[in-house]
Amino acid sequence: MAQRRKLVCRYSPQKAAHALDGMRWSGSHAAMCGRFALHASPERVAELLSLDEIEDFPPRYNIAPTQPILLVIGGAEARPEANRAGRTALLARWGLIPSWVKDASKFPLLINARAETAATKNSFRAAMTYRRCLIPATEFYEWRRTGSGPAKPFLFRPASAQPFAFAGLLETAHGPDGGELDTAAIVTTSAEGALTEIHNRMPVVVEEPDYERWLDCRTNAPGAVADIVATSAAKDFSIVSIGTAVNKVAHAGPEVQAPIGDFDARKPGIQDLSGRKGASAQTPKGEQAGEADQLKLL
């Protein structure tokens, strides 16, 4: 693995909007997970992920593909004095490029990896074996299209309103000029619970007792963590109907999470404000979102 750069979280929308130099981004209308938020304090994130040190970072309410995301990896060696075997926080660009890709400009960014095939699929096999990571978040978003109307956004968060961590995969991309850049993807699995009313996939949210096992790539082969990605704590998340401000990446403040209606997500058939049922998962047309396997839904 390439030498890690120091974590620098002096984030700005201008920097976040700048895509990988020379790399191609293609949109998809059926991505999961394609947007999320992280607005917990750095201290709370450090506590959640057992980090001794973490640099300051601002709250972000609409994190999109190609933007830098915060993640945590396990250390290269286990030492008694090390912080949880040397856990390290770093930034990576959201959109994985496999290390074997010679010309990243001709390869689509892979923002998600199917849990069922990550250990065998060429794009993710090495990362699933050697470079698993945790990606902290406070919420994620998904869109549902009802009938012929526009796609409707929903916000998903734990009932506790506490931060959590996605299962992630990390790879170092190689640019045509020989430069290197860390890139990452979020692992997804089959949807369960009320989430199935909105999408047939859900991001894998790792339970805290499983953090160490997921990060320990030295000891645990993919088969030893298969149970972690077979389900997700996301199935029990609260679901909130929100406005369409989140559709645009430029809208990055807390207003994108403003609720526009109440419903009981525990009841069969989540209803939107018009009372219509049934859905097909879809992100807004023209928005940046994608999925692995040439950006088809996984």
pTM of the model: 0.80
Q: In angstroms, what CA-CA distances link 138 with 102, 135, 158, 238? A: 35, 10, 8, 12
Whole-angstrom distance, CA of residue 184 vs CA of residue 85: 21
Predicted local confidence at residue 189, as pLDDT: 96
> Terminal CA-to-CA distance of the chain, rounded, Å?
27
Q: DSSP state, 163?
A: -
With bands split at pLDDT 50, 70 and 90, how would you rate the model's confidence at 198?
very high
Active site residues: 33, 142
- Express as a percent the part of the chain with pLDDT over 90: 59
Coil, strand, or helix at residue 291?
coil
Q: Which residues of 141-173 are buried (b: 16+ CB within 10 A; e: fewer)?
A: bbbbbbeeeebbbbbbbbeeeebbbbbbbbbbb
pLDDT of residue 82: 38
For the chain, the C-alpha Rg in angstroms (whole number) is 18
257-285 tens-digit pLDDT: 999 965 444 443 343 333 333 333 444 44
In this predicted model, which residue has the larger pLDDT, 263 or 25? 263
Residue 5, SS3 per DSSP:
coil
Give percent of the chain with pLDDT exceeding 70: 73
CA triple 94-98-102, angle to 5 deg: 115
Distance CA(293)–CA(298), nearest Å, equals 7
In sequence order, which ranges of the chain are alpha helices (DSSP H)? 13-17, 42-48, 125-130, 211-215, 226-229, 292-295
Does residue 135 carry a pLDDT above 90?
yes
- Taking only the tens place, the pLDDT of each residue in 163-177 is 999 999 999 987 777
166 within 8 A of 153, measured Cβ to Cβ: no
Under 8 Å between Cβ of 196 and 29: no
* Predicted confidence (pLDDT) at residue 155 exceeds the cutoff of 90: yes
> How does pLDDT run across 38-75, given as a tens digit for each residue?
999 999 999 999 998 899 999 999 999 999 999 999 96
The confidence score (pLDDT) of residue 20 equals 35
Alpha helix segments (H runs only) across 187-242 = 211-215, 226-229
Paired tokens of 157 = 């968060």
**Which of 78, 111, 52, 53 lies closest to 215, judged by CA?**
78
Q: What is the residue-averaged pLDDT of the chain? A: 79
Q: How far apart are CA 224 and CA 212, in angstroms?
A: 12
Domains of the chain, first to last = 14-295 (3.90.1680.10)
DSSP 242: E
Nearest Cα residue to 292 out of 128, 102, 84:
128
Residue 155, classed as helix, strand or coil, is strand
Please state which of the ranges 6-10, 126-130, 145-149, 243-247 shows the lowest mean pLDDT. 6-10
Mean per-residue pLDDT, 215-236: 95
Whether 90 has a pLDDT exceeding 90, the answer reads yes
Confidence of residue 108 (pLDDT cuts 50, 70, 90): confident
The token duo for 131 is 């470079």
